[in-house]
Amino acid sequence: MNKDSTIRIKSLSGGAAAAAGFMAAGVACGVRDAGRRDLGLLFSELPCETAAVFTRNAVKGAPLCVTREAIETGGVRAVVANSGNANAATGERGIEDARAMQDLAAEALGIEASEVAVASTGVIGVHLPMGRISSGIRAVSDELGEGGAGFAESILTTDTRVKVAVVRVEVGDRTVIVGGTAKGSGMIHPNMGTMLAFLTTDAAVEKSCLTETLNRVTDRTFNRVTVDGDTSPSDMALLMANGAAGNEPLRLDSPDYPIFAEAVEGVARTLARDIARDGEGATRLVEVAVDGAASEESAAALAKSVVGSSLVKAAVFGEDANWGRVLTAMGYSGVAFDPDGVELWFGSIKVFSGGEPVPHEEAEANAELAAGEVKIRARLSEGDASATAWGCDLSYEYVRINGSYRT
């Protein structure tokens, strides 16, 4: 690692390494083909408070089990991650391999093993090539300080773009940075489908406040993204706070807490939208906004049902403003509502109201689906709660990618 790095406000392009005191790097160690970066390391020079959210899948990858233990011990300040192999459904040897990754990273960074989180993403049911991983960890620790771009790249699988976001806000008289990077693409769904998200901040935040913040933000952002309805055994979101900004540690009742919380949510929302936009085979980002619902929970369930419907997704791909499929998807969401009280829009075109179609130029409605960002809106007459969910269209390319992912 780069012993000369100093704690200061860095470039806002740095993603997970943008906040003061964080460093990151990514290298190619040969888990994936063709020299692609596949091994990443993220490190805070200062001790951290760290909160985590894990997949709800009953099948859990080995790295997740090891990381959960570290989080419970407290003080996680580093992440070692690989792509190309999820180290899931790999039995006892999988756990040993994940622990070995943790130990190797701790040794390279000069910290305790319990301070290192481990994350793996990729194919399921294949043991990790530990020789390559081991060389990779040594190599990547020498690159620390290169900024967040290499790390952001190293965690990608079928993603076509790196996903980074950074926000700067004033907390009291201090400038605070919240940054992050994520990977997604396929198997993304409400409840943390194959998704890794690493959020960092130089704010000082009390542990319970950090945990509450990550839970709420995850629920409103990452858990509102769906690509194909599948969820994965390997997914996690971490939020690490190292306090380098020197502010009074934030609590839920701190006057400036809302500013900080909105910064974290803004970073996570940007990453979530980028994950949806980069869904496997996606040609368009689809944003579904529901308002007039009885509760935020039911608004979110309705929005997620629409954005997750294969028929809606295929209609968007085909630029066919088939609002009947939107209404139908709301109908099977499990939320009770009065269909006659629903209004629907594609972009600015109102297509349904009062239980009946609203006369409109179909070509204009179809044109709303031709944009790179498609907006579908539903207004109910049940209350005043709202929620937004994000997804993508369903294309031939999705089928091609997932018919031959391993080959």
List of residues contacting a copy of itself (CB under 8 A)? 56-60, 86, 88-93, 123-126, 186-187, 189, 191, 228-233, 308-311, 314-315, 317-320, 322-325, 327-333, 335-337, 339-340, 352, 354-357, 394-396, 398-407
* Residue ranges of E strands in 140-252: 163-171, 174-183, 196-201, 236-241
37 vs 284 by CB, closer to a copy of itself: 284
59 vs 252 by CB, closer to a copy of itself: 59
Q: How far is CA 329 from CA 293, 355, 395, in A?
A: 15, 15, 19
Sequence-ordered alpha helix ranges (H) in 239-333: 257-277, 296-308, 310-317, 323-331
CB of 10 to a copy of itself, least distance (A): 38
59: how many CB neighbours lie within 10 A of its CB?
13
50 vs 90 by CB, closer to a copy of itself: 90
Q: Record the tokens describing residue 33, joined without a space.
A: 């083909």
Residue 300's contacts (CB-CB under 8 Å, 6 or more residues apart) are 219, 224, 290, 387, 389
CB of 165 to a copy of itself, least distance (A): 27
Report the DSSP pairing between strands 285-293 and 373-379.
parallel
18 vs 187 by CB, closer to a copy of itself: 187
Distance CA 266, CA 300 (A): 18
CB of 204 to a copy of itself, least distance (A): 36
Task: Read off the amino acid at residue 262.
Answer: E
**Cα angle value 165/146/246 (rounded, 5°):** 60
Confirm if 284 and 390 have CB atoms less than 8 A apart.
Answer: no
142's enclosing H/E stretch is: helix 130-143
Confirm if 150 and 37 have CB atoms less than 8 A apart.
Answer: yes
Question: Cα–chain-centroid distance for residue 240?
Answer: 15
Residue 356's contacts (CB-CB under 8 Å, 6 or more residues apart) are none
**Positions marked active-site:** 194
136 vs 193 by CB, closer to a copy of itself: 193
* Torsion 81-84-90-94 (CA) sign: negative
25 vs 88 by CB, closer to a copy of itself: 88
Distance CA 136, CA 146 (A): 16
Phi, psi values for residue 322, rounded to 5°:
-85, 80
CB of 89 to a copy of itself, least distance (A): 6
CB of 266 to a copy of itself, least distance (A): 28
125 vs 131 by CB, closer to a copy of itself: 125
CB of 400 to a copy of itself, least distance (A): 8
CB of 154 to a copy of itself, least distance (A): 21
